[in-house]
A and B are shown apart, each in its own frame.
Chain A
């Protein structure tokens, strides 16, 4: 299980306008491409010096590939990263705070303590 890698996906997609749109339009393909091409890149390093060991497990890959943000919350992805990226993708489909409130409702079955987000 790699909360770090889930966060790395959310972080790198959220900061790139083209990737935000690509992930919205085709999540499964974007996740496949990202895991193959980007997951092992150390962000401040030359591509030839990438890591060799980072990959999603099936649960993580499925959660990302299906835009399943309640599952990401359960897996301990950082809630700020998940929220920010999903607002970027889906706020436009709702009025006002509609998406944010739906997001809260879909997480309503969680109670304290929330899943650990420590990496």
Chain B
């Protein structure tokens, strides 16, 4: 069977690419420390020596639209083009192409359906910065095939937090039962407190530092029970109007497992939002 060699949960910050590549007067004062932290985080994936990446993210109204909106979708294609005109325009993100691991996509879809998740699928998926940001930060050589998994954290009605956790638990079971000798890492990105297009946006910190502190505590200690007891679709409005992206972190806590503390934790307090980086090694580091 395949081996799950790393579980990684991260914020995805579309400005990292521009900040980290800027020089001279264009380079923001927080860039050097940010690059140092991301480089250290990247090493946690490199050490696991993965062959395949399952990438959990959320389309930001790029290909998935309100006339046909899936709650959970798995890409199944040999290639994925990536990044969109409005991401080039606003964030300076480059166009990218990733290879797909189609046999694992097919396995996740078949077995996921049989496990009770009515997964949508796409055979031609252009992915966005929720998946390309962690490629840029964690695997910039972009040399590994991927299985993209999209969740709806964006267009209500949304699945409840518990469902994200259950999908994470199922994804782990599916990867670990995949009849293959490949080494798989599951990487998911979301947000801590975040406000976009509202009165609390672009402040000196994330809109709710206390929520961020507690979220980092839940994730780093694997406190799924505590997290689920306090986080609801309604409660997530309070820390910021885009904070439902935290449910992708909860999905990754489901992958990592109840009570399983993270093996690597780091954060970086930036304007607008807090960055947070977590890695688990389910079987230890060989």
* A80 interface contact, C-beta 8 A: yes
Dominant secondary structure of chain A at its interface with chain B:
helix
B200 adjacent to chain A (CB < 8 Å): yes
Chain A residues within 8 Å of B201, by CB: 83, 100, 103-104
Q: Which of B85, B155, B199 has the most CB of A within 10 A?
A: B199
How near does chain A come to B111, taking the closest CB pair, in angstroms? 29
| Cα–Cα, bound, A14→B61 (Å) | 10
Task: Classify chain B's interface size.
Answer: 20 to 34
A97 with B198: CB separation less than 8 A: no
- Find the B residue at minimum CB distance from A87: B90
Does any Cβ of A come within 8 Å of B197's Cβ?
Answer: yes
Q: State which residues 210-241 of B face A: CB under 8 Å.
A: 237-238, 241
Select B197's contact among A8, A43, A79, beta carbons within 8 Å: A79
B72 at the interface (CB under 8 A from A): no
Among residues of A, the one whose C-beta sits closest to the C-beta of B197 is: A79
Please tell me if the beta carbons of A84 and B90 are within 8 angstroms of each other in the complex. Answer: yes
Q: Any chain A CB within 8 A of the CB of B242?
A: yes
Interface residue? B154 (CB, 8 A): yes
Interface residues of A (CB under 8 A from B): 4, 7-8, 11, 14-15, 17, 42-44, 73, 78-84, 87-88, 97, 100-101, 103-105, 107-110, 112-114, 117-119
> Residues of B with Cβ closer than 8 Å to A?
60-62, 65-68, 84-86, 89-90, 154-157, 196-203, 237-238, 241-242, 271
